[in-house]
Structure 1
């Protein structure tokens, strides 16, 4: 029995309240574009002056939209004591900062074997991508411009890390042993518990 822990790749993002959903969706689409082993029609979309790949499959689009919305709600819940505009805050940046995590997990179906009968399939994780998002706010226009540059830089860096990892880390991908349209199930978890 293989007891090795599947690889986990962490991506750090910074975003303000008005852009956090688009930034998260853009990066999750980038991950799926590179790890969804089904023929895709190439598509792109722009997020903060960065062109990212886009998976135009209805079920994936719906899942990403649903989880990104839940993620933004979790950030809103964490900072619900603040009643400020989406972009500017009267509080200092450090006091108004909140964090959240989103995990994208790719699974492998394995047939469990019994003595005389086949048991139900067991799903095991073979790769996890963890997005650690820091939500920022600004007190002034110059601070907002600085935050935008930081956001753009963190998104570009994270997207390039995805490309570097998928090109380098291939040995852990399980063999495709099914004729199903998508051989590997997936999950997107908002603020997953460690362990």
Structure 2
């Protein structure tokens, strides 16, 4: 049974790339189990986070961030949108990978005039990631000597979590008649 963490992140369209990258890098910093060189990143708004100095992870996070901000729902119009990114860490088990941890990142993207509100929310989210990652470790499997790191997956949920909830609420109820 995997451990799941759910976080709600608010952002403005203009800050979305940096918000997404900082959240993803913070999660990976806490879950990469090999020896790493940490790199401190200072956003121009005064927020700092630490990322892993790894080219492959950097490229994947950049690609997924770009994929996320280019979602059709964000392009259609600039009204409030809610979309999800899922980060899954897995353990190889014979023929398949088994998820041992999943981060559900629900982004609420809208026009927000108060940038300080976004930054405060981002700071709180980064702190929560660190707290969760440090508090909940017992579910993390041991790396075998052959593994460089755990397999991971970043999934951009194009359906959006809000749409899924609406589908659930509007689904007809089955009766036992």
Question: Structure 1 81/110 Cα, relative in aligned 2: closer, same or farther at 3 Å?
Answer: closer
- State how 1:78-157 maps to structure 2 within 5 Å: 78-82=73-77, 96-111=79-94, 121-138=95-112, 144=113, 146=114, 148-157=115-124
TM-align CA RMSD: 1.8
Q: Deviations over 1:125-163 (max 9, x none)?
A: 00001111111114xxxxx2x2x1111111111111111
Matched, 1:7 2:3: yes
Q: Deviations over 1:101-136 (max 9, x none)?
A: 10110000012xxxxxxxxx3201000011111111
Secondary structure of the structure 1 residue equivalent to 2:38: coil
Give the total of aligned pairs.
Answer: 160
Distance (whole Å) between structure 2 residues aligned to residue 28 and residue 100 of structure 1: 15
Secondary structure of the structure 1 residue equivalent to 2:138: coil
Q: Is the 8 A contact 2:83 2:158 kept in 1?
A: no
Distance (whole Å) between structure 1 residues aligned to residue 29 and residue 75 of structure 2: 34
Secondary structure of the structure 2 residue equivalent to 1:131: strand
Matched, 1:186 2:160: no
Q: Is the 8 A contact 1:103 1:192 kept in 2?
A: no
Secondary structure of the structure 2 residue equivalent to 1:80: helix
Matched, 1:19 2:15: yes
Structure 1: 4+ residue segments shifted above 3 A: 192-195
Instruction: Tell me which of 64, 70, 73 is aligned to 2:67.
Output: 70
Which has the larger share of helix? 2
After TM superposition, give the deviation of residue 192 of structure 1 in Å: 6.6
Distance (whole Å) between structure 2 residues aligned to residue 192 and residue 162 of structure 1: 23
Distance (whole Å) between structure 1 residues aligned to residue 36 and residue 158 of structure 2: 29
